[in-house]
Structure formats: structure tokens, C-alpha cells
Structure 1
């Protein structure tokens, strides 16, 4: 039996779950700006209590590795690594976009088109990838500036579901009868459960000392404007 603590902080959603053999048994999540630093450890304590297990009973820690918010990913990964060091547990890293696509497929098991998870990356840029209905990656994870010509080839012969907080701002730009937008929350640690279990069974573990989030783009520091 494998019991895994799962952490997702790649967007404005702070989400923690516990799974046993790929099935979610406890979940705590909230969507709000800038809550990860203050809420993540509290959410972890809550799900541990909900699941009625001890930290020693965990078999691994799984974390959504990105792409996504620089600050959110940094907090999530540093917390996961800290737990791994303290508990001497292995670390599992799950691609955030794949986790989102997996969540959609879990809720729509008969879906037969293409899936395009999107994470808002400011202005008209998104972090995205394209998956088929078997969760195979059709287009690799990348940063993309979306305009009216985006995804034209994919939409010619395929029903494409766009999901995530980046999809909302693209709704008015992508115009095709084959384009469908689903704005529910797919940044949930519960959608990591079967993926983390599969990784655990295959011993796909990260080097805790050297693992870094998948930021995709370098973080840009901005200088506040001087007051006149």
C-alpha cells in the first residue's frame, strides 16, 4: 500500500491531498491570491488529521512541479523537499499541465478530442501543452502568446477542450466551432493521485537535494515606480 501526500501550488489555488494506492482520501484547497505561504502548512496538517494518519506512515511526497507561478512553485517545492528531508521520504514531481489534463479526463472519461491546459502567464501569454485523450503529449510544454491564429491546425480536425485559468482570457480570441472552454478548477492536488501512484510504483523519484521547480521562464524582477 502506498500513501502519498500531494501538494499543488502552481496557480492561485493552494491544494493539498492524500492518496492511498492512487485514490484520493482527503483534500483541502482554496483559491485566493497570495495564500500559499500562510496556508500550505495548515492545509497539510488538516488533511493529515482528516486522513487519520501520521507523517511516518507516508510513503512519498508528490508536488506539482510547474510550469506556473514562480512564487507558488517555490513555496510548494520547498515545503515538499523539507518534508522529504525531515521524514526521509522520496520526492515525486508531476508536470502541472499533465495533472490538469488528467483531472479533465477523470471527469470526462468518454472524451475523445485533444486537451489544452493553460496557465495564465500575464497579458496574452500562457504556459500550455496539448494532450490526446490517452494523456499522451501531442505538443510539449511551452510558453505561447495566444492570438486568432493559435491552434488553427489542431482545431481543423479535432475537438479541443481548453482548460485552466489561462483559457478564460483566450476565449474571446480563439474562434472555432471545435474550440470549447472549461473554466472549472483543474489545479487540484486530487488530480495528482493516480499519476503519483504510477510514479511511485515505477520508482520515478527526484533527487531531493538538487530538484528545482519547472519555472519554464526566468523570473523577472520589477522595480517599483518612484513616487512623484
Structure 2
């Protein structure tokens, strides 16, 4: 299996993640104590209390594969484009005209505590790498191993940076080997093109989706044409007073 096309992987502050400075200003107007960056870049700033996922015990004779879990902010019509701001016509849609309810974002704190590694596309990695190491709220993420799937990035561009414990994977075969190694869940933020490649290769095990009560009608979608059918089993769902719905799915393999 080859690596996904790097050019197609919209990042956190580009088409997919949006302009975080714009998100900062919008959140600061609504909530003075909010973090400098958007909720997408500061996912557990409003974590609050949470209960960890149940972790089924594995038979002692085998080492189960590490699950890859995709986490996204998503519209009702499947758009993940620029949730915090950017050039997209509806950029910043996660906070525009949507009441702020802290408990809707509690899952973001739980995700960070449960993850054992991050897996990112190239553009998302390049957007995160200069920002996340400076954020105390991401101490757990910053300390864990981080992997970027790319055919084009030089090794030095991944390993010789201020973000510790970063590694480059050159193919989806290497991602599959990562799943076989010891460790816990592997979390994918953003990286829509990478997610589509992982889905096509049967490497995604679950989704954590914060679905916003808005239909955008255009923009980059998580479910792209041609990715084929994926059957999901709902594991947990919660609906909040502002219309945001949390849906956690297992992929039926």
C-alpha cells in the first residue's frame, strides 16, 4: 500500500483546520478565558469531567492490534473544511451562530488521555508542529509519539524540529505495522485525505465525531466520492443543548 497524495491532505489551519488567529478572536469575544487558538487546535480546553472508555481485557495469548480512531468536527452534510477559520466561504462554522456549551467538548480531554500516539497527514503535521509544542494544555499529546504519513517530507523535516518524538511513515504498509506494535489507541486529527486512504485500506477502527447542526453545502468532505462502503456500529452518543451531537462509532471490519 502506498502513502496518500500529500497534496490532497488539507491541514488544520488551511482548508480543513482554518485560520486559528481568526478563531481566537471569535472565541475571545464570546469567552474571555478561552485559549489563544480555536477549539480544533485546543480540543480539551473545555474538557471538564469525563469517564474513560471501557477497555476490554484481551486474551493473554494474543496482542490485539492498536485501534486507529479518527476524530473530527463535522457538519450535518459531512463537511470538515476549515472549522476554525480560513479561506473557505463558511470558515469558522463551528462557532458561528452556535451557542457555546462546555460539556459538548469534554470528549476532547478524554481523547488526549486515552491516545498513545498521533497519526497525521503531511499538511496537518506541518500546521500543528510549530504550534502544539508551545501549548501546555497539549502536554500529553506533545509527549507521545507522533507519526506523519508522507512520501515527500525529508526525515530531517520531521525529526529535527522542536516537536519531540516525531517519525515519518512512507506507506500505508508502515501504518499497518504500527498497528501491530505494542501500545494503545492511535488518534488521527483532521487529515481528511489520509483518513480516506486509511479507510480504503481497512485501517480505521473507529470515529469520534462532533456533529454540528449546520448544513454547509460545499467544502471538503470526510466521506469522499469513491471511498466505498463503510459499515459503522454506534458505541456512544450524546446530544447537547446547542444542537451539537457526539457520535462514537466502531468500524465493522
TM range (shorter): under 0.3
Structure whose residues are more often strand by fraction: 1
The TM-score with structure 1 as length reference comes to 0.26
Structure whose residues are more often helix by fraction: 1
The TM-score with structure 2 as length reference comes to 0.24
